Amino acid sequence: MDRQRPFDAVLIIAFGGPERPEDVRPFLENVVRGKSVPRERIEQVVKHYERFGGVSPVPAVTRRQAQGLEQRLRAGGIDVPIYAGMRNWHPFVADILVEMAKAGVRRAIGFIAAPHHSYASCGQYKEAVREARLALGEQGLPDVEIAYVDSWYEHPDFIRANADRAAEALGGFPEALRDRARIVFTAHSITQAMADACCYRQQLRASCLRVVERLGLREWVLVYQSRSGRPQDAWLEPDVCDYLRGERGQGLAAAVIAPIGFVIDHIEVLYDLDVRAAGVCRELNLPMVRARTLNDDSLFLDMMADVVRQTWDRGRSAIPLQIVPLG
């Protein structure tokens, strides 16, 4: 391994999403494969995508993130290609690893576009990479080692970017209402069993605490959204809409809904918050502003570059390890 160039590339691994209406159902079939998701739930989500033209913002935003990351790394003296692979739709991680292997990439830094760790948010992505690496060997192609960046749910730039978005949303209220508004952080719900086996809730709370500390606020709560799966399974609660209904009756004056568990405008954000939660707030006559997601915000791109650079530097200083074949 070249100590001055310990890695050949960076791989961003994202959720994926359809870019044409005809791809919505095949995409969702990939998302729910192997899971107990009722058919009626899938059809509901199809309609959510159709409401936005059958196009997810995820692929386009991920490409912009890759471009911004490449520019920042190059400016800092790290000139390597940035690849983007999706877990659930084209370009699939497996196809991107084939492209990387054929291009001569042997060691890459992996960045999973999810800040908080669970099997659903990170574990499945790493499984997709492992399966793709095994497939390289079956195709007679060389392996591509992946070294993942460290956790970044408390990175100062991630916190600052989320705080800036929340402050911007607070500014959307009349001055007399701002001091009475509550920050309602949201994240994708997962099953209670999955949550009990990981640090998802703890990491989410840590991010929320850092944001409100930066804002100097005390009124905040962490709730969940976008539950799917069997009704009989226990999932993380409260649901954002249930929370808003209950708290409005207890005197909640205004809410900033801040989707801290998402870094891109997934359809779950656009529909479950901008349509469903916003509709509940109108019904309750509850003033609400939704904080924007980070997408390709310059601070978020700075954070991506920083954690990639840290991994690069560790690769330069570490004692080379023997490559253990997959299998």
Query: 10 and 145 in contact (C-beta within 8 Å)?
Result: no
CATH number at residue 88: 3.40.50.1400
Domain that holds residue 70: 9-17+56-148+297-317
Is the same domain home to 13 and 141?
A: yes
- Residues 63-66: contacts with CB under 8 Å, at least 24 apart: 64/295, 64/296, 65/12, 65/113, 65/295, 65/296, 65/300, 65/301, 65/304, 66/12
Is the same domain home to 284 and 235?
A: yes
Residue with tokens 């509901």: 44
β-bridge partners, 12: 84, 111
Helix (H, G, I), strand (E, B) or coil at 109: strand
Is the same domain home to 139 and 71?
A: yes
Angle at 187 between CA 267 and CA 250, to 5 degrees: 110
Q: Look at residue 210 and tell me if it is in a domain.
A: yes
Helix (H, G, I), strand (E, B) or coil at 192: helix
Is the same domain home to 250 and 266?
A: yes
Burial of 42 (0-12, 13-18, 19+ CB in 10 A): middle
Ordered per-residue pLDDT tens for the chain, 327 residues: 566 899 999 999 999 999 999 999 999 999 988 887 888 889 999 999 999 999 999 999 999 999 999 999 999 999 999 999 999 999 999 999 999 999 999 999 999 999 999 999 999 999 999 999 999 999 999 999 999 999 999 999 999 999 999 999 999 999 999 999 999 999 999 999 999 999 999 999 999 999 999 999 989 999 999 998 777 889 999 999 999 999 999 999 999 999 999 999 999 999 999 999 999 999 999 999 999 999 999 999 999 999 999 999 999 886 443 443 465
Q: How far apart are CA 96 and CA 101, in angstroms?
A: 9
Q: Look at residue 286 and tell me if it is in a domain.
A: yes
Sheet with 220-225, strands from edge to edge, namely 220-225, 181-188, 254-258, 288-290
Sheet with 145-148, strands from edge to edge, namely 82-86, 9-14, 107-112, 145-148
pLDDT at 322: 40
Is the same domain home to 180 and 307?
A: no
Is the same domain home to 88 and 123?
A: yes
What's the domain count of the chain? 2
pLDDT at 212: 98
Is the same domain home to 269 and 308?
A: no
Element (H, E) at 27: helix 24-32
Q: For residue range 148-182, what is the model confidence (pLDDT) as tens digits? A: 999 999 999 999 999 999 999 999 999 999 999 99
Q: Look at residue 324 and tell me if it is in a domain.
A: no
What lies within 8 Å, CB to CB, of 279 at 6+ separation is none
- Residues 73-77: contacts with CB under 8 Å, at least 24 apart: 73/10, 73/305, 73/308, 73/309, 76/305, 76/309
Is the same domain home to 191 and 95?
A: no
Q: How far apart are CA 222 and CA 205, in angstroms?
A: 7
Q: Look at residue 72 and tell me if it is in a domain.
A: yes
Q: For residue range 56-65, what is the model confidence (pLDDT) as tens digits? A: 999 999 999 9
Is the same domain home to 133 and 206?
A: no
Query: Helices in 152-297 by DSSP H: which ranges?
Result: 156-170, 175-178, 192-196, 200-215, 240-248, 267-271, 278-284
Specify the pTM. Answer: 0.94
- Structure-block tokens of residue 248: 């409005």
Is the same domain home to 210 and 286?
A: yes
Q: Look at residue 88 and tell me if it is in a domain.
A: yes
Is the same domain home to 177 and 134?
A: no
